[in-house]
């Protein structure tokens, strides 16, 4: 459960297989901030989660700042609605964005089941938002793969050994699981025989490319990590929420 979760209702409704707030929070944990590639639950973005015995779910999201980019805010809210709606016991879903300067437009569009263009006519089409989502998925894959490569090199593996590994050779740790999830979402192979490290365009990372690729990948990762630190600081200042930095968690 998120350290920043302010209120949970309906977590113990009884009945085997009956919908609970815990089920909803588990579903929301699959929703990632598109820029930070961290679950919105881990970031403390879920302010409240209420579930009724009839299967109605109401979730409030609270971002670090009211000025969070509207496209990012909409992506997270829409993804949260989709994730909760997939639960078989859910009969109705309300996702509400709190304290955001475009919250009125986003909340109204979500209620109607409209896309980003429905919230902000003329701003961009929904295909543009999908392209933005894919861009950040690719950045997330680069960042996480670079962290895995560096850990293997630090443990004494050579460039040939690192790039010659297969998915089945990788340890079962959160970074690996997230990399494989990202690869599946991007349509890249993720089976055990697939190369352990691939570029977002689907090409295989060779030993001769590793050093140069890592220099670029570190910049991408640094950007994500700095933005994540800013979000944590804003949450602490605005809401008193302290979120652990995943870089400090043993994987």
- In three state form, how does the secondary structure of 125-160 look? CHHHHHHHHHHHHHHHHHHHHHHHHHHHHHCCCCHH
Identify the domain boundary among 64, 90, 124.
124
Which domain does 215 fall in, by range?
127-228
Looking at the 3D structure of the chain, how many domains does it have? 2
Q: Over the stretch 170-203, which tens digit does the pLDDT of each residue have? A: 999 999 999 999 999 999 999 999 999 998 888 9
Q: Is residue 75 part of a domain?
A: yes
Q: What is the CATH number of the domain that holds 66?
A: 3.30.300.130
* pLDDT band for position 30 (cuts 50, 70, 90): very high
Specify if 202 maps to a domain.
yes
Could you say which of 90, 124, 158 is where a domain stops?
A: 124
Per-residue pLDDT at 236 exceeds 60: yes
Q: Is residue 33 part of a domain?
A: yes
Both structure tokens of 132: 């933005």
**Are residues 119 and 131 located together in one domain of the fold?**
no
Would you say 200 and 142 are in contact if contact means Cβ atoms under 8 Å apart? yes
Which tens digits make up the pLDDT trace of 83-118? Answer: 999 999 999 999 999 989 999 999 999 999 888 888
- Tell whether 138 and 50 lie within a shared domain: no
Q: Is residue 71 part of a domain?
A: yes
Share of the chain above pLDDT 90, in %: 61
pLDDT band at 241 (very low <50, low <70, confident <90, very high): low
Asked, for residue 244, whether it belongs to a domain, the answer is no
**22 lies in some domain:** yes
Q: Looking at residue 44, what is its pLDDT?
A: 85
Same domain (yes/no): 23, 118: yes
Domain finish residue from 124, 144, 171: 124
Give the model confidence (pLDDT) of 179-188 as tens digits.
999 999 999 9
Claim to verify: residue 43 and residue 76 sit in the same structural domain: yes
Q: Are residues 135 and 174 in the same domain?
A: yes
Instruction: Indicate whether 58 and 69 sit together in one domain.
Output: yes
The verdict on 115 and 147 lying in the same domain is no
User: What is residue 223's predicted lDDT score, i.e. its pLDDT?
Assistant: 86
pTM of the model: 0.82
Cβ-contact 63, 45 below 8 angstroms? yes
- The residues, ordered by sequence, that sit 6+ positions from 33 with a Cβ below 8 Å of its Cβ are 39, 40, 43, 45, 72, 76, 231
| pLDDT of 8 strictly over 70 | no
* Co-location of 34 and 60 in the same domain: yes
Looking at the predicted structure, is the pLDDT value of residue 231 above 50?
yes
């Amino acid at each position: 459960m998120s350290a920043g979760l302010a209120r949970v209702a309906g977590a113990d409704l009884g009945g085997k297989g009956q919908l609970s707030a815990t089920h909803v929070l588990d579903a929301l944990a699959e929703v990632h901030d598109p820029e930070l590639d961290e679950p919105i639950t881990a970031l403390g973005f879920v302010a409240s989660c209420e579930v009724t015995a009839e299967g109605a779910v109401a979730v409030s999201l609270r971002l670090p700042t009211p000025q969070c980019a509207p496209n990012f805010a909409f992506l997270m809210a829409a993804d949260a609605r989709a994730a909760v709606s997939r639960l078989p016991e859910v009969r109705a879903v309300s996702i509400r964005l709190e304290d955001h300067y475009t919250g009125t437009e986003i909340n109204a569009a979500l209620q109607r089941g409209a896309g980003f263009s429905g919230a902000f006519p003329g701003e961009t089409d929904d295909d543009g938002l999908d392209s933005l989502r894919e861009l950040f998925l690719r950045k997330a894959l680069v960042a996480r793969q670079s962290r895995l490569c560096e850990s293997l090199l630090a443990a004494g593996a050579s460039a040939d050994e690192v790039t010659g590994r297969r998915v089945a050779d990788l340890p079962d740790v959160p970074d690996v699981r997230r990399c494989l999830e990202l690869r599946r979402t991007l349509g890249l192979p993720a089976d055990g025989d697939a190369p352990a490290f691939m570029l977002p365009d689907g090409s295989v990372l060779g030993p001769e490319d590793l050093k140069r690729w890592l220099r670029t990948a570190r910049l991408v990762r640094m950007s994500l990590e700095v933005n994540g630190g800013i979000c944590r600081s804003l949450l602490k200042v605005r809401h008193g929420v302290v979120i652990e930095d995943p870089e400090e968690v043993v994987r």
